[in-house]
Amino acid sequence: MLRAVKSHKFHLWNQHLLEKHNHTMELQMFGEKLVMTDDPENIQAIQETQFSELAKSEEQRIIFHNIFGDAIFGMNGEEWKAEAALYRVHLSHVRDSALTVTERHITNSFALLDREGNDAADIVDRLQLDVVTEVFLGESTNSLTSNQQQFRTAMETLQKIACLRQLLGRVGVWLDDKYLAPQAVRYLQNYQNTMADKAFLRTGDSTASSTCLIDDLIRQGKSRKDIRNAVTSTLSAGKDPCATALAFAIYEIAKRPHVFTKMKAEVEEHIVSNTLPTLADLRKLKYIKMVIKETLRNHHPLGYNPRVPVKDITLPRGGGPDGRSSVAVLKGTQISDLLSLQNREDIGADDASNWRPERWETWKPRSKWEFVPFNHGPRICLGQQFANVQMEYFLTRLCQEYESISLMSESRPQEGLMRLELNTKLAFPVYARCIRKDSK
Ligand code: HEM
């Protein structure tokens, strides 16, 4: 497994094994059991019907705790419900002001995209960092216009370590980041402290009317520790998946000029030229929505995200010679539902490994449990709407500003590959040649 992670083939590796073992299998990792499944019925059980029987594990909480504090991802029960309710107020709808912020940072990102040889994946990662920090944390990191590389590298290092620690189960609990990457821990803690200090200063000023997530949490009496947690939770949840999805979308579009032509035609049809897209405009862009869905289907941006049963349980699939009977899972066993199911040909999507947005004109998953980019059930992604608007807005602006996008010869093929950090990232840089409309 670790070799597969290192060679960016974790998805391919587990997809191959799951196909061989009827889509649910049990592995032994350092003497501990680990169940992996990409069976839609099991995914439904984990995310919805047996939700209360499965929890985020104590090991996971410890692994996250050293760096991310008590982040929402590691919480369970009433504590999780209360935290999710606080976040939902800010994450579940998109304000027009978020588009103004996004537009400002997109302008900076396009200035970098214009320069050949820049990595488009890195640019959209910085874009999402700058947008998410300004919208939810009250002040942008401005990584597109200033050098924030030390902080970004620290975050990546610690996410990579946390992911490996999770895969190692209980052994991973003993590998403390404070010893493995002390400098990265220091950078991240400095960042959290600075953001928290600024938020307490802002909210202490009675004439200020800031309404971002962390300022609101402070006004509700949350502690400094809670604010530090909110800083990194929002960054990890809010930045990475959108950045990865956008980077893969650029990679795929750059290989297929006809897709970009079709996207541009749709944008020209629905949005008056030289005007910025509104939320109402974005709702009309059906083909761009298909491009996003196809990217999330083909390159799911979330990584390894296990649960553990709080008592001995039965999952609906995985037992018997064909794996179609129920199977017992003991309390405390790590269970990971793997979204490789979205790349399975046998559940309906022909040529599933191909990125083909047009499939969504005629194809739809037979059940919602066969397409789960944002989870379903109680633990659904709280930022789903914000994420979709971010991706739609970026792609629309790309269509308005650029004549063509193509891959440069330095770009390496990325099909089936991904770097596994907490979320997934592209295995290699995306060197794209982006030609402006007005450059003719
Ligand atoms: C393409 C983009 C995105 C995808 C595919 C995605 C997907 C997901 C998934 C699958 C989960 C559930 C994780 C779990 O089971 O523990 C999740 C959780 C979460 N997401 Fe997203 N997400 C995206 C973007 C965002 C954005 C932009 C935000 C914030 C602005 C956000 C905020 C959250 C939060 C706070 C949680 C934790 C929910 C909880 O534990 O109850 N996500 N996301």
End-to-end CA distance of the chain: 50
Q: What is the pLDDT of residues 179-225, one digit of tens each?
A: 889 999 898 889 889 999 999 998 887 676 777 899 988 988 888 98
- Of 381, 389, 394, best ligand 1 pocket probe by most atoms within 8 Å of the beta carbon: 381
Of the ranges 19-33, 41-55, 144-158, 164-178, the best mean pLDDT one: 41-55
Task: State how far the alpha carbon of 15 is from the alpha carbons of 18, 61, 187, in Å.
Answer: 5, 27, 36
Using a 6 Å cutoff on CB, does residue 305 contact ligand 1? Answer: yes
Give the span between the Cα atoms of 390 and 384, in whole angstroms. 10
Q: What are phi and psi of 145, to 5 degrees?
A: -120, -5
Rg of the Cα atoms in the chain: 22
At residue 66, the pLDDT reads 64
Q: What is the pLDDT of residues 295-309, one digit of tens each?
A: 999 998 887 778 999
**Strand pairing partners for 315?**
327
Which atom in ligand 1 lies closest to the alpha carbon of residue 56? 16
Which atom in ligand 1 lies closest to the alpha carbon of residue 132? 30
Using a 6 Å cutoff on CB, does residue 242 contact ligand 1? Answer: yes
The encoded tokens of residue 144 equal 């597109």
At residue 333, the pLDDT reads 93
Å from CA of 249 to ligand 1 middle? 19
Give the span between the Cα atoms of 431 and 191, in whole angstroms. 30
Annotated binding site for heme: 381
Match 């809010």 to its residue by tokens.
Answer: 238
Give the span between the Cα atoms of 387 and 38, in whole angstroms. 24
pLDDT higher than threshold 60 for residue 339 = yes
Whether 299 contacts 246, CB under 8 Å: no
Residue type present at position 219 = R
Lowest mean pLDDT among 37-46, 103-112, 149-158, 273-282: 149-158
Of 213, 244, 236, 225, the C-alpha closest to 84 is 213
Give the span between the Cα atoms of 29 and 271, in whole angstroms. 53
The complex's ipTM works out to 0.99
